[in-house]
Amino acid sequence: MEQVLITGASGRLGRATVRELANQGYQVVAIDRVRPRDAHPVGVRTIEIDLLDIGQVTGAMKDCDAVIHLGAIPNPYDHADEVVFRNNTGATFAVLQAASLLGIKRIALASSGSIYGTAWSPTPLLFQYAPVDEAHPLMVHDVYALSKETDERIAEMFCRRDSMSIAALRFHWIGSRVEQLELVEERRAKDQHADEAKDLWGYIDTRDAARACRMAIETARDRPFGFVPMQVVAKDTLSDTPTEDMIRQWSPETEIRTPIPGTSSPYDTSTAKRVIGWEAEHSWRDAG
Confirm whether 188 is domain-assigned. Answer: no
Residue 136 φ then ψ, to 5°: -55, 135
Confirm whether 136 is domain-assigned. Answer: yes
CATH of residue 16: 3.40.50.720
Buried/exposed code over 136-146 (b: 16+ C-beta within 10 A; e: otherwise): beeebebbbbb
Check residue 279 and report its DSSP letter: -
Confirm whether 33 is domain-assigned. Answer: yes
Q: Return the H-helix or E-strand segment holding 112.
A: strand 106-112
Q: At what angle do helices 54-61 and 81-102 cross, to 10 degrees?
A: 40
Confirm whether 259 is domain-assigned. Answer: no
d(CA 260, CA 264): 6
Number of domains the chain contains:
1
Confirm whether 184 is domain-assigned. Answer: no
d(CA 54, CA 99): 10
Tens-level pLDDT at each residue, the chain (288 residues):
899 999 999 999 999 999 999 999 999 999 999 888 888 889 999 999 999 999 999 999 999 999 999 999 999 999 999 999 999 999 999 999 999 999 999 999 999 999 999 999 988 899 999 999 999 999 999 999 999 999 999 999 999 999 999 999 999 999 999 999 999 998 888 766 778 899 999 999 999 999 999 999 999 999 999 999 999 999 999 999 999 999 999 999 999 999 999 999 999 999 999 999 999 999 999 976
Confirm whether 101 is domain-assigned. Answer: yes
CA distances from 61 to 6, 66, 96, 98 (A): 9, 9, 11, 7
pLDDT at position 191, please? 65
Contact status, residue 240 vs residue 144, Cβ threshold 8 Å = no
Confirm whether 13 is domain-assigned. Answer: yes
Confirm whether 189 is domain-assigned. Answer: no
pLDDT at position 36, please? 82
Give the domain extent around 72: 3-120+132-175+203-233+266-276
Q: Give the pTM.
A: 0.96
CA distances from 164 to 9, 60, 66, 71, 238 (A): 22, 19, 11, 19, 35
